[in-house]
Amino acid sequence: METFDPAELPELLKLYYRRLFPYAQYYRWLNYGGVIKNYFQHREFSFTLKDDIYIRYQSFNNQSDLEKEMQKMNPYKIDIGAVYSHRPNQHNTVKLGAFQAQEKELVFDIDMTDYDDVRRCCSSADICSKCWTLMTMAIRIIDRALKEDFGFKHRLWVYSGRRGVHCWVCDESVRKLSSAVRSGIVEYLSLVKGGQDVKKKVHLSEKIHPFVSKSINIIKKYFEEYALVDQDILENKESWDKILALVPETIHEKLQQNFQKYHNSLQRWEYLKKAISWQDNTKNDKCGPLLEWEIMLQYCFPRLDINVSKGINHLLKSPFSVHPKTGRISVPIDLQKVDQFDPFTVPTISSICHELDAISINDEGKEGNEAESDIKHRTRGRMALTSHF
C-alpha cells in the first residue's frame, strides 16, 4: 500500500476530483430518481478547505454544477446535510425563520474512541485489527435491527476513513421522520448508558427484550476470540478489577482469590460464569446469565452518538470523502463481507492516484484524440476506484 503524505494532499485532491470521484453514482443516490421536485437542489453540502476553512450551505442545480464546484474548491472534506425548504445557497435571502430543514436520511455514527474504557490495545484515534471487531459487531447488531425490527430496506454502511463507521438509512419514509422519532429509534438501539464516571453501564431487566437477546447472540459469535483472546479482558488484576465492578460485591473476594489460580482470560471467564451462577440462590441478586450478558454488552455492544442521529440538520461526512490525516477514502462496506472488511486495506488517495498514473502511462501513445483520451482516463480512473470495494 502506497504511503500517504499529507503534504501531497492538495495535488492529489485535484486529480481525485477531476478523474476519480464517482459523480454519476453520487448524484443518482442523492437525487433519488428526481421524483421529488428540487430535492437535490435543496440539499445542503458543506466543504472543509485547507487550513480548516469551513463553508456551509452549498447547494447545486445538477451533477454538472456539483462537479465544477468540487473541482474548483478541491475540498479536504465533504459533509452532507439536510434537504431544506429553500436552496441552501440562497438561505440569506429567505425571511427569518422560513429556512427550515425538512428531510434527511437517518444516520448513525459509531466511533472507536467511545469504546476507550473497554478496549486495551489502542486509545483515542488509534485502531488495530484487535479492536476493529467492535465495528464488525456494531454493524451486524445495528443493521439486523434496522432491517428486521424496523423494516428499513435501504441501508448504506460506510467506513469513516479513520476509526469508525457511518450508516445512512435512505428509505423515503425514513427521510421524513421527525427529530423525536429519530431519538426514539436511537434510544431503542442503545443499551450502554452513562458517562466516564459510571462504572456499570448496562442494566438488564428480568424480562429480556428480543432485541437484546438477538444482539447477545451476535456478540457470542465474536466474544471468545475478541474479548478473551485479543483484548485479554481478564489478563491481570488491573483488568479484572474493572469486571468485578460489574458484579455483586458478595462474590468479589471469591473471584479475587480464584482468578489468581488460573492462567488466562478464557479460564477466568469460565470460572466467573460458574461463580455468578452459584450465587443465583440468593434471591436479592441478579441471576447468572443476566450478569454475564451485562458484561458482554458493556464490552461489545455498539455505542451510538445520539446527537448525530436525532438532528435533521446535523451534517455527516460524505461517502467518498478523503480523510485528511490518513488519506483513506470513505468507501462503502459490503454487508455480505462485513467480517472480511479490513480498514488497513482501504485505498488511500495516494495509492489510487498512482494506480491512475500507471494506467495513463500504459495508455500513452495509444490514443490520438485528446478529449476522447481524457474521457477514457476518467472512466478508467473511476473503475480503478470502484474495483476496490
pLDDT at res. 284: 54
| Contact partners, residue 319, CB within 8 Å, separation at least 6 | 26, 156, 158, 168, 330, 331, 332
Is the per-residue pLDDT at 181 higher than 90?
Answer: yes
Q: Between these two residues, 148 and 96, which has the higher pLDDT value?
A: 148
- Specify the pLDDT at position 127: 95
Question: Model confidence at 386, in pLDDT bands (50, 70, 90)?
Answer: low
Round to whole Å and give the CA distance between 37 and 183: 28
pLDDT for 359 equals 80
What are the CA-CA distances from residue 341 to residues 131, 136, 159, 319, 332 (Å)? 13, 8, 10, 16, 10
* Residue 224 CB neighbour total at 10 angstroms: 13
Q: What pLDDT does 389 receive? A: 45
Instruction: Tell whether the torsion through CA atoms of 163, 169, 175 and 181 is positive or negative.
Output: negative
Most trustworthy range by pLDDT among 1-10, 109-118, 357-366: 109-118
Which 8-state DSSP code applies to residue 347?
P
Active site residues: 44, 109, 111
Mean pLDDT, rounded, for 233-261: 95
The pLDDT confidence band at residue 196, using thresholds 50, 70 and 90, is confident
Q: Report the pLDDT averaged over residues 102-131.
A: 95
Q: What is the CA radius of gyration of the chain?
A: 24
Give this prediction's pTM. 0.92
DSSP alpha helices (H): ranges in the chain? 9-15, 23-31, 63-73, 129-144, 172-175, 179-188, 210-223, 237-244, 252-259, 265-278, 288-300, 306-310, 349-363, 370-386
Q: Which of 167-171, 280-284, 291-295 has the lowest mean pLDDT?
A: 280-284
Helix axes 288-300, 210-223, angle to 10 degrees: 70
Average pLDDT taken over every residue of the chain: 92
* DSSP code of residue 32: G
Given a cut of 90, whether residue 56 has pLDDT beyond it is: yes
**Distances from the Cα of 47 to the Cα of 70, 196, 230, 297, 382, angstroms:** 9, 33, 39, 37, 22
Please choose, from the candidates 55, 44, 37, 42, the residue with its C-alpha nearest in 3D space to the C-alpha of residue 87.
42
Residue 254 CB partners (closer than 8 Å, separation 6+): 275
